[in-house]
Amino acid sequence: MLSIMKLSPKMKKALNDQVTLETSAANSYLAMASWCEVTGYQGAADYFYAQSDEERTHMLKIVHYLNSLGTIATIPATKAPSSSYKSLEMLINTALKNEQAVTKAIHNMVEIAQKEKDHSTYVFLEWFVNEQVQEETKFETIIQKFDLLGRDKLGINEIDKFLATEATAPADPVA
């Protein structure tokens, strides 16, 4: 059902840019999963395949939101992600940096919504604000494991096992 509420051009652009960011994140995690799989980190591969699926659900949430307001979402072409990594630790660090950039973009949209008194988008974004806290914490926790368990083969193996237990299907169904 189409709503009569209109998005400002600025908010429309920001939401479409976010579709691009979430799509890039999905592709980036897919590339990471693939690298982990061929490198022999099966737990990490499972983790990042699931993470990639999760990012796709984020992208779809925004696509559905834009479409529900009668603003047809732009499905973007994205830059190819890096397909090789020096180590699992570097890969996780890259993932955390990705999430920090996504958080910044979400917060920027919240500020636009506040300024424009766009209450509908403000409420819509609340889920993303909370999600980003969880996402950053997840990756910070994994990074901490390298100090706790070590960076030798045994340590990495333990981290890979930990990632296998953390690999889950998207927790939140697409709204």
For binding to ligand FEO (CB under 6 A), which residues are involved?
A: 22, 25, 55, 58, 99, 102, 135
Residue nearest to ligand FEO (CB): 58
Nearest to ligand FEO of 17, 158 (CB atom): 17
**Smallest separation, CB 49 to ligand FEO (Å):** 14
Nearest to ligand FEO of 104, 115 (CB atom): 104
The CA-based dihedral angle spanning residues 117, 122, 124, 128, taken in that order and rounded to the nearest 10 degrees = 160
Contact 158, 48 (CB under 8 A): no
**Smallest separation, CB 98 to ligand FEO (Å):** 7
Contact 168, 50 (CB under 8 A): yes
Distances (CA, A) of 74 to 20, 102, 103, 154, 165: 9, 18, 21, 46, 36
Nearest to ligand FEO of 129, 149 (CB atom): 129
Nearest to ligand FEO of 136, 158 (CB atom): 136
**Smallest separation, CB 102 to ligand FEO (Å):** 4
3-state secondary structure 45-58: HHHHHHHHHHHHHH
